[in-house]
Amino acid sequence: MNERATAGLTLAAAGIAAVAAQAQDKRASSDPLKNADVDKRMDEFKKSPDPWKEVAKMEFGGDRTLASGLQTLIFDADPAQYPALEKKVLAILADAGCTAAARDFACRMLSVIGSAAAVPALAPLLENAKTSDVARYALENIPGAEVDAALQAALSKLSGPARDGLAGTIAARAAFKILGGGAA
């Protein structure tokens, strides 16, 4: 590229930057709070705990206010928001301090917004008789061969009622497919 072309591009970039700065100035001058005093309450608000991290600590019989708020957020979400929300719910399961109540909550939410991305986190839960039910609940509604493979793999690792429940989930998914229910 010659010097003249480089100078032209530099001038164009400077012009774009000036227009952007001018637009920013116009927005800023129209901001009704531009000259307002700093609201000290915001400092306290910033100290508020992250509800996604706090839910990982909740106990059965304890305060479920944050979980209720997150549930409403998830239920009211647009499907385009599901992947981002799913990552947050999966972070609850990945939290080292995740309680049984938090695991139950996360699995219930994944039954609504979960995708194949949730299978690696839920598959290990299938293999434990104590957590198999909540994992099955989450996976039952998630379409895809990944889910079917995880369910089949866990079948040989369980016995008794947990194995029976898993077999029932596999049968329900197969019946759903046969009856034309789609990809589940």
pLDDT class of 10 with cuts at 50, 70, 90: low
Q: Is the full-model pTM beyond 0.75?
A: no
Whether 144 and 82 share a structural domain: no
C-alpha 164/C-alpha 43 separation (Å) is 53
57 in a structural domain: yes
The one-letter amino acid code at 93 reads L
Confidence at residue 85, expressed as pLDDT on a 0 to 100 scale:
95
2 in a structural domain: no
Whether 129 and 91 share a structural domain: no
130 in a structural domain: yes
Whether 86 and 125 share a structural domain: no
The residue out of 85, 114, 143 marking a domain boundary is 114
Number of folded domains that form the chain: 2
Whether 156 and 131 share a structural domain: yes
Whether 120 and 143 share a structural domain: yes
Q: Are 177 and 140 in contact (CB under 8 A)?
A: no
17 in a structural domain: no
Residue-wise pLDDT tens digits, 158-174: 889 998 998 989 888 88
Instruction: Indicate the SS3 state at residue 53.
Output: helix
Whether 79 and 105 share a structural domain: yes
7 in a structural domain: no
Burial of residue 84 (number of CB atoms within 10 Å: 0-12, 13-18, 19+): exposed
Backbone φ and ψ of 146, nearest 5°: -60, -40
Compare 90 and 39 and report the one with higher pLDDT. 90
68 in a structural domain: yes
Average pLDDT, the chain: 83
Whether 150 and 95 share a structural domain: no
Read off the tokens for 61.
């019989």
Whether 76 and 93 share a structural domain: yes
The residue out of 60, 82, 114 marking a domain boundary is 114
178 in a structural domain: yes
The residue out of 79, 114, 149 marking a domain boundary is 114
pLDDT class of 34 with cuts at 50, 70, 90: low
C-alpha 116/C-alpha 122 separation (Å) is 10
159 in a structural domain: yes
Confidence at residue 43, expressed as pLDDT on a 0 to 100 scale:
75
Q: Which domain holds residue 102?
A: 49-114
Whether 85 and 141 share a structural domain: no
Whether 157 and 143 share a structural domain: yes
